[in-house]
Amino acid sequence: MNINIGLTGWSDHPSLYEESVRSHEKLQAYASHFPVVEVDTAFYAIQKQTYYEKWVKDTPRNFSFVIKAFRGLTGHDREKRSKQELHELMKAYKESIEPVVKAGKLNALLFQFPPWFDVKKENIQKLRQIREWLRDYPVAIEFRNQSWYREAYRERTLSFLEEEGFIHTVCDEPQAGEGSVPAVVRATNKDKTLIRLHGRNVHGWEKNGHKDWRAVRFLYNYNEEELKSWVPSIEKLLKESNSVTMLFNNNSGHDAAANAKEMMEHLGVSYEGLNPRQLGLF
């Protein structure tokens, strides 16, 4: 079963690390548990190449990275930029991730769009422009606006993603109005599909914009039944694409790592070639 399970970020998962593991050693330790990770810091700032070089060295040969797109490229910062300015920003982003690409460790570039990115001509054109600029890269698209999946647009959305060679990001998240999407279990890329699990905390999702929303939005612990319910969906997706990457983002209460390991058990998967486990010698 070609499924890679991991987490969004590697720093904030205390159950994975001995107390002696220092901050700069955490990715190395993380890679003894999982074969893939999401670089969520890339959303907040274009990272230095030297960071990626270190991360490549800290991980085993078969490890891979899902790298989030910088928020200036997805429109989260609401800055108005010319096409040329966006192109320059994209160039800087591409240059930063080059060490991962050269090492053959790029799983996908994740473009997660904001809740106000709805179905309209200018947004479809923006997706086409991204595809043009990233023609040779695996690009995953995650929507946060329901309009893309309404009955009138769902099939056209999926067909568009397929025609452009985009990887569809299937989401598990609270159904909390316009700024959330249903779990649409369909692959649009024959090579890869991405699944991101954000938890099902409706109350926390609706608090977006409040001062404590980051602390509660992803506060959720999936139970056994909820995790098992994903097994047939994964099996379906593996018939539609060669591989599936599943990332747990429900970490406000540090539940993501345990849920990911439970999911591995339900699927009967284990991974070879991970980093050796450190025994806290220093």
Q: How many residues does the chain have?
A: 282
Task: Examine residue 277 and state whether it is found in any structural domain, yes or no.
Answer: no
For residue 121, pLDDT over 50 is answered with yes
Does the predicted TM-score (pTM) go above 0.75?
yes
For residues 225-253, give the mean pLDDT: 97
Nearest residue to 113 (alpha-carbon basis) of 159, 166, 163: 166
Task: Identify the pLDDT of residue 210.
Answer: 55
Q: Domain range for residue 137?
A: 3-267
Average pLDDT score over residue span 250-263: 95
The predicted-structure confidence for 33-70, as pLDDT tens digits, reads as follows 999 999 999 999 999 999 999 999 999 999 999 999 99
Paired tokens of 109: 């570039």
Q: For residue 1, what pLDDT is reported?
A: 77
Residue 282 lies in a domain: no
Q: How confident is the model at residue 177 (pLDDT cuts 50, 70, 90)?
A: confident
Q: Considering the domain boundaries, does residue 21 fall inside one?
A: yes
Which range is least confidently modeled, 136-150, 213-227, 229-243, 268-282? 268-282
- Return the higher-pLDDT residue of 207 and 93: 93
Neighbours of 155 (CB within 10 A): 11
Reply yes or no on whether the pLDDT at 203 is more than 80: no
Q: What is the pLDDT of residue 129?
A: 97
Average pLDDT over residues 203-213: 64
Q: Which residue has the higher pLDDT, 137 or 282?
A: 137
- pLDDT tens-digit readout, 68-85: 999 999 989 888 888 899
At 129-152, the pLDDT tens digits run 999 999 999 999 999 999 999 999
Res 81: pLDDT: 84
Give the CATH number for residue 44: 3.20.20.410
Amino acid 5: pLDDT: 98
**278 assigned to some structural domain:** no
Burial of 115: CB neighbours in 10 Å, binned 0-12, 13-18, 19+: middle
Of all residues in the chain, what percent carry a pLDDT higher than 90?
84
**Once rounded to an integer, what is the mean pLDDT over residues 145-162?**
97
Q: Is residue 280's pLDDT more than 50?
A: no
Whether residue 191 lies inside any domain: the answer is yes
Higher pLDDT: 215 or 268? It is 268
For residue 72, how far is the Cα from the chain centroid? 17
pLDDT mean over 168-187 = 93
Backbone angles phi, psi at 195, to 5 degrees: -120, 130
Element housing 140 (H / E): strand 139-142
Tally of domains in the chain: 1
